[in-house]
Amino acid sequence: MTYRLTTGNTILRLADNAFIPPDPANTDYVAFLDWVAAGNTPEPSPVVAPPAPLTTEQKLEAAGLTVDELKTLFGL
Amino acid sequence: MSTIKVTNLQNPSASSAALVLNTDGTCSQLGVRNAIINGNPIINQRGYVSGTATSGANQYTLDRWRVVTSGQSITWTDSGNVRTVTAPAGGVEQVIEGINLITGTYTLNWTGTATATVAGNAVAKGGNVSITGGTDTTVRFSSGTVSLVQFEPGTVATPFERRSYGAELALCQRYYFAKGEGVELAALTSSAGVVQVRSHSSFPVNMRAAPTATYTYTDNGNMNTEYGPLTGTSGVILRTGTYTIGTSSALGTYSNLKFTAEL
C-alpha cells in the first residue's frame, strides 16, 4: 500500500485512487497514520503548474471582441 | 386505574409468547430492537455478485457485511424475499457501531447452520452475551448458512424485526453510499481568467465519519488534473483543477462516485 499527498489535506491511496479525508474516525485514515508510524513516507504532492495567463488576444476573443472592433469602439 | 401483572402474553395455540414483559419493566418486543443492519441482507449497494472471491481481508460485500479472509466469498439464495447467505470458513461478519449499543445483556439469533461468535466468543442460537455500551462489537458467522440475523437487548430471542427497505437502506448509507448519478462541472467561455469549478452534493444521511471517496473523472480536455473530492460527514465538494478559461467551454464529469465510512 502506498499513498500520495495531495494539493489539499486529503490523502490519495494509490492502489485504488481513493481520496481519504483527515478524519480520525475514518478507518482508512487511521490505516494511513499506522502506515506512516511504521516508518513509511507518502509520495509528495505533485506540483501543479499555474495555468498560463491569457494573452491580450485571448482575452479579447473570450470577450467576443476583435482587435478591429476594439479600435472602432475607441475611435482609433 | 388498575394494573394487570403478567410476565407473558401468548395465544393458547402458539408455541411462544407474543410479548415478554421483563422484570426491569421493559418489553423486549417493542421498539427498534435489532442492532444488526441489513440482517436480511438484500441491500447490496456495492453490487457484489454472489460467489465472487474477495481480493483483500475484511472486504465488504452485501451492505454492512464483510468477508474476513481474502480470497473467500459468500453465496446466497433468495426465497420469499428472505436471503440466505452461506458463510465461508473464515467467516462473514458485521461490526456493530458502539454508539448503537447500551451496556447490558443481548441475545443473538439467526436461521441456518452457521456457527457464530460475538466479539470472538462463541454464541449459540438464542444465546446471551454481555455488552459494554459504546464499544464496537463484531458479530461473525462461519461455515454454514445464515439468514434473518437479530442481535437485540434482553435475554429473549424475539421474532425477526421487519424494517422497511427505505429505513434499512438509510441505515446502511451511514456507512456506505454509492451515488447513482454523475455530476457535471461546467465552466462557460469567459474572460474570468483562472478558475476552479466546484459543486456540492449532500449525502442522503449523515455518514459515520468523513468518508473515503472513489470515482471516475473525465473532462473535455480543457480542465486539467482534478484535485479530488473534499468529503465531510454530510456531503462532498467536487472540484476540478484550476485552469485558464480560453475561448471554449470546459466540462468535467464525475461518475461512479462511492463513499465509504465503514468501521
Looking at residue B20, its pLDDT comes to 78
Q: Does B98 touch chain A (CB under 8 A)?
A: no
Q: Does A59 touch chain B (CB under 8 A)?
A: yes
Contact state of B244 with A53 under an 8 Å Cβ cutoff? yes
As a whole number of angstroms, the distance between CA B37 and CA B96 comes to 8
Three-state DSSP at A73 gives helix
Q: Does B243 touch chain A (CB under 8 A)?
A: yes
User: Using a CB-CB distance cutoff of 8 angstroms, which residues of chain A are in contact with residue B212?
Assistant: 13, 18-21, 26, 28-29
User: Using a CB-CB distance cutoff of 8 angstroms, which residues of chain A are in contact with residue B241?
Assistant: 48
Q: Does B228 touch chain A (CB under 8 A)?
A: yes
Looking at residue B194, its pLDDT comes to 65
Contact state of B244 with A25 under an 8 Å Cβ cutoff? no
Contact state of B208 with A25 under an 8 Å Cβ cutoff? yes
Looking at residue B193, its pLDDT comes to 62
Q: How many CB atoms lie within 10 A of CB B173?
A: 20
As a whole number of angstroms, the distance between CA A23 and CA A25 comes to 5
Task: Tell me the CA distances in angstroms from B186 to A64, A69, B17, B197, B213, one per residue in order.
Answer: 19, 29, 62, 7, 21
In B1-111, the DSSP E strands lie at 8-9, 19-20, 59-60, 66-67, 75-79, 82-87, 92-96, 104-111
Contact state of A27 with B263 under an 8 Å Cβ cutoff? yes
Listed in sequence order, the residues at least 6 apart from A53 whose beta carbon sits closer than 8 Å to its beta carbon are B193, B244
Query: What's the whole-model pTM score?
Result: 0.86
CB-nearest to A54 from B210, B244, B262 is B244
Contact state of B260 with A17 under an 8 Å Cβ cutoff? no
ipTM: 0.85
Q: Does A50 touch chain B (CB under 8 A)?
A: yes
> A69: distance to nearest CA of chain B, Å?
17
Contact state of B214 with A19 under an 8 Å Cβ cutoff? yes
As a whole number of angstroms, the distance between CA B171 and CA B97 comes to 11
Mutant choice from A13, A54, A59 vs B, greatest count of B C-beta within 10 A: A54
Highest mean pLDDT of the ranges A2-6, A60-64, B19-23, B104-108: B104-108
Looking at residue A51, its pLDDT comes to 62
User: Using a CB-CB distance cutoff of 8 angstroms, which residues of chain B are in contact with residue A8?
Assistant: 227-228, 230
Looking at residue B128, its pLDDT comes to 97
Per-residue pLDDT of chain B (263 residues; tens, 9 = 90+): 788 888 888 889 988 777 878 787 777 667 789 999 999 999 999 999 999 999 999 999 999 999 999 999 999 999 999 999 999 999 999 999 999 999 999 999 999 999 999 999 999 999 999 999 999 999 999 999 999 999 999 888 988 999 999 999 999 999 999 987 778 887 766 555 667 788 888 999 999 999 999 998 888 776 766 677 889 999 999 887 776 666 567 788 888 999 999 99
Three cell numbers written together for A31: 490505516
Three-state DSSP at A72 gives helix
- The secondary structure of B195-259 as a DSSP string is E--EEEEE-SS--SSSPEEEEEEEE-SSS------EE-SSEEEEE---EE--SS-EEEEEEEEEE
Three cell numbers written together for B70: 481474502
As a whole number of angstroms, the distance between CA B247 and CA B189 comes to 6
* Own/partner long-range contacts of B121-126 (Cβ < 8 Å, ≥24 apart): B125/B157, B126/B157
Q: Which of B222, B226, B231, B263 is nearest to B241 (CA)?
A: B226
Q: Does A12 touch chain B (CB under 8 A)?
A: yes
Q: Does B217 touch chain A (CB under 8 A)?
A: no
Contact state of A51 with B224 under an 8 Å Cβ cutoff? yes
Determine which of A44-58, A60-74, B92-106 has the lowest per-residue pLDDT on average.
A44-58
Three cell numbers written together for B238: 467536487
| Contact indicator for B191, B60 with CB cutoff of 8 Å | no
CB-nearest to B244 from A12, A48, A51 is A51
Looking at residue B30, its pLDDT comes to 73
Please count the residue pairs, one from chain A and one from chain B, whose beta carbons lie less than 8 angstroms apart.
Answer: 80
